[in-house]
Structure 1
Amino acid sequence: MHVMKSKWIGITVSILLASATFAGCANKPTPGAGNQAGGAKPFQGKTISLVTANHPWGEAIKPLLPEFEAATGASVKVESFFEDQLTQKLTVQFTSGSATPDVFMYRPLQEGKLFFKNGWVAPLDDYVNKDASYDFADFSKSAVGSTTVDGKLAGIPIITEQEILYYRKDLLQQANIAVPKTLDELVAAVKKLHDPKKELYGFVARGQRSPLVTQVSSFLYSEGADFTSGDKATINTPEAVKAFTTYGTLLRDYGPPGVLNMSWPQAIGIFAQGKVAFYTDANSIYANATDPTKSTVADKVGFAVFPAGKAGSKPYNITSWGLSMNAKSANKDAVWEFIKWATSKDIVLKTQAKGNPGARASVWDKPEGKQGFPAELVPVIVESSKGGVDHDRPTVISVGEARDAVGEIVQKVMSGETNIQATADKANAALQAIMDKDKGK
């Protein structure tokens, strides 16, 4: 969720190479994992280098690696890095033409287009169609859309996110307010529950210029707008201006003090303190509101599908993390075998049971696939996953610059600017210039 500040040319960075290395040891393969013990192992002696983020999915997959190694004969060497450190490492290695890592976690909507445009990742279209049992159609279309660049599959979804509405069940019950199903209903409920004299605020969300962009996106789509249309920037349309104005006004008039400088940790933090009635953000951070050690209202938090605007309820439904193959890997067949295994129905079921929301519809149909999440949240995730939009920010190479251009509009609303159309026109011109510049990269 952070902005990637490094560029692909002339990058010199100092990287902490503190990593957690995992070397699998032989184990008997589980039923259905591949070749039986003693049988032919197609990748005997091969070593696959895997780089993960310091993320719960990485922690969930590491104990399962012996299954893959026993079935294939390959060994998997793992290194793990913090999010921005991971981006730096991958960028430096790919710029130098390195054949490692063979396979890696990446953020499709943050650096996916950059990586693909520079030829650093191998398209996976042919691979996913090789084996009918892989059942690629089982993946959410929107999640696959996040990992698709110029019509080519640049990676496989492993972690999905949808924007949802968090709310205080007790406050709504006391005020006899139904859970908002539309943005108009949300605004009305926020106004009714806002009581700053009692340190109770109607609404909170991200207010920082760049971080807010991903969350205002669902307001944008639900009003029938988008950041771009083809090669044209479209953040100054009437629908877009309405969406930005709604979001910014909710934060300005009904948000807590300091909301202009809040990203998600601060926003969900004040919601968890019991000081806010409504909060909208990614479903993936729910534990910050429901964990009794972090939240004073853990047992009072409700979840709902994102409220509908003029175009209906259209939250983002994205792949926040995917797995991709290094285009220069010398072990592409073995790497694909690993990706296929790691994103198979069986393994996704196991990683999802640990609280990692995957992109396979069939896994959400199984009790084990739901056990890692609050019972009330599961139907909201499932419903949000059925449709939604496959991006939560402008799909450009220069993502950071684009987010700043969009975020400027909302911040002007929050600061009380009256001529938002003029601000949007200026921001739209800036976004168009960014898009035009990216064409030459």
Structure 2
Amino acid sequence: MKRSGAALVLAALATTGCGNGTDNRSDAETADKPFAGQTITLVTGSHPWVDAIRPLLPQFEAETGMSVNVQGFFEDQLTQKLTVQFTSRSETPDVFMYRPLQEGKLFYRNGWLEPLDEYAKREAEYDYEDFTPQSIRSSIVDGKLTGIPIIIEQAILYYRKDLLQEAGLSVPRTIEELAEAAGRLHDLGNGVYGFVARGQRSPLVTQVSSYLYSEGGDFTRGNKAAINTPEAIKAFTRYGTLLRNYGPTDAINMSWPQASAFFAEGKAALYTDANSIYKMTMDPDYPGVAENVGFAAFPAGAKGSRPYNITSWGLAINPKSAHKEAAWAFVEWATSKEITLLIQQKGIPGPRSSVWDREEGTAGFPAELVNVFKKTVNGGVDHDRPTTINVAEARETVGEIVQKVITGEKDIQETADRANAALQAILDKEAE
């Protein structure tokens, strides 16, 4: 009889916990291998989640009898690889990592994502309701669950404890206080900029989103573009002005690797970005900086603190797979409470509420960061970019507005009006 994913997990944990991993079970105990002889292909992006799941795969394979063939690609190659495979109607990969908010609509509308609603709700012990509401909402397209969340992230504020203390400043709790603190801490004589964040045209969009939501705006209102509203103008202006006045001169060329490294090297006092990259901000090669990195909730705007709270990566199944049940068995195991706990202990934020409620589930994170996680994990906004099929073009359209501010344009209304018309054209074309 086929054992559930949870049962397989428990067996895996028992073996993992024995120290040397030696399997001393009898033949009778290992006879029930529901997928013996089957091989599934798992295509992944380049992410610490993959490094955490790999050591656990041998026990899963031993328990199920299946083999998992892992193929890894860098993030910029992954979408291209998947698109080529799916366009050719390939049966592989069986399971793959994807970014729900970047590829979800495109992949689902093209028939490249197997709806997982029935799978996820099949067994009570899988506990589908344990996933945070926002992680599930990020993964839904046209009312269908297109993938299972594996990694979540929220926008937070990173700050230098020592610099704020020396300046007699409290941790900024509002966007207004953030701007004031950035000005006070901007000290080029000592090589410290007041603020850093993503300034590249497309990458900045996900980060400016939290400013936008906190001011009461959004990228769209229903099927109407909304990036030229007063709320949007205020948010884009604030973000761009922070970078223009208090950010590095090459901020316009920075995505998260450059911005996080800049902060980690002690060159900036304040930084807003995803909590999932916190390790990048605490570089042990820079003593005096890493131990002074603080974490705080995203600062509030006119409508309060409304950061994005999203599924950044999920696992999906190819509708053309010849091994859908085996593929689901893998997904069920990889996203179970037990495996989520093991992965989260490596400092990778997972989507299960129960894991966050366990002391062991938060052991891999700094205590201050855990408190921020818990404040946001069930709130915030379930998207960090325009929810369109052509996400790349939409992001470029939004990013242009903010970059105009960064490079010194005083009045961005005209630019925003043009960009809004361009975004509306994207939405209208997709609605045809």
TM-score normalized by the length of structure 1: 0.90
Residue 295 to residue 85, structure 1, CA distance change in 2 (3 Å): farther
CA distance in 1 between counterparts of 2:42 and 2:360 reads 27
Residue equivalent to 2:20:
none
Point out the more displaced range, 42-51 or 132-141.
42-51
User: How many correspondences in the alignment?
Assistant: 413
1:136 counterpart (111, 122, 128): 128
2:70 counterpart (53, 78, 95): 78
Deviation, 1:406, is 0.3
2:145 counterpart (143, 153, 156): 153
CA distance in 2 between counterparts of 1:30 and 1:414 reads 51
**Letter in structure 1 aligned against 2:238:** T
CA distance in 2 between counterparts of 1:32 and 1:230 reads 50
Point out the more displaced range, 345-354 or 329-338.
329-338
Query: Is 2:103 the partner of 1:111?
Result: yes
Deviations 1:254-313 (A, max 9, x none): 112221222222222222222211111111211122121267511111000101111111
Query: Is 2:22 the partner of 1:49?
Result: no
1:393 counterpart (380, 385, 395): 385
Deviation, 1:44, is 2.1
CA distance in 1 between counterparts of 2:15 and 2:385 reads 39
Point out the more displaced range, 188-197 or 76-85.
188-197
SS at match of 1:402: helix
**Letter in structure 1 aligned against 2:237:** T
CA distance in 1 between counterparts of 2:255 and 2:122 reads 42
**Letter in structure 2 aligned against 1:399:** V
Residue equivalent to 1:198:
190
Deviation, 1:31, is 4.6
Residue 129 to residue 220, structure 1, CA distance change in 2 (3 Å): same
SS at match of 1:271: helix
CA distance in 1 between counterparts of 2:355 and 2:339 reads 10
SS at match of 2:30: coil
Deviation, 1:439, is 3.0
CA distance in 2 between counterparts of 1:193 and 1:160 reads 31
Residue 268 to residue 30, structure 1, CA distance change in 2 (3 Å): closer
Deviation, 1:168, is 0.6
Residue equivalent to 2:53:
61
Alignment check: 8 A CA contact 1:245 1:410 kept: yes
Deviation, 1:114, is 0.9
Residue 36 to residue 167, structure 1, CA distance change in 2 (3 Å): farther
Residue equivalent to 1:226:
218
**Letter in structure 1 aligned against 2:68:** V
Residue equivalent to 1:172:
164
CA distance in 1 between counterparts of 2:175 and 2:417 reads 24
- Which runs of structure 2 are paired with 1:256-295 in the superposition (5 Å)? 256-293=248-285
More helix by share: 2
Residue 243 to residue 30, structure 1, CA distance change in 2 (3 Å): closer
TM-score normalized by the length of structure 2: 0.92
**Letter in structure 2 aligned against 1:172:** L
**Letter in structure 1 aligned against 2:246:** Y
CA distance in 1 between counterparts of 2:413 and 2:45 reads 40
CA distance in 2 between counterparts of 1:123 and 1:307 reads 37
Residue equivalent to 1:305:
297
Alignment check: 8 A CA contact 2:264 2:283 kept: no
Query: Moved runs in structure 1, 4+ residues, more than 4 A?
Result: 28-33
Alignment check: 8 A CA contact 1:273 1:295 kept: no
Give unpaired runs (5+ residues) of structure 1: 1-27
Give unpaired runs (5+ residues) of structure 2: 1-10, 17-26
Deviation, 1:84, is 1.7
- Provide the aligned C-alpha RMSD in A: 1.9
**Letter in structure 2 aligned against 1:227:** F
Deviation, 1:386, is 1.9
Alignment check: 8 A CA contact 1:289 1:297 kept: no
Residue equivalent to 1:120:
112
Deviation, 1:238, is 0.8
Residue equivalent to 2:322:
330
**Letter in structure 1 aligned against 2:38:** K
Query: Is 2:331 the partner of 1:339?
Result: yes
**Letter in structure 1 aligned against 2:219:** F
CA distance in 2 between counterparts of 1:102 and 1:55 reads 19
Alignment check: 8 A CA contact 2:100 2:311 kept: yes
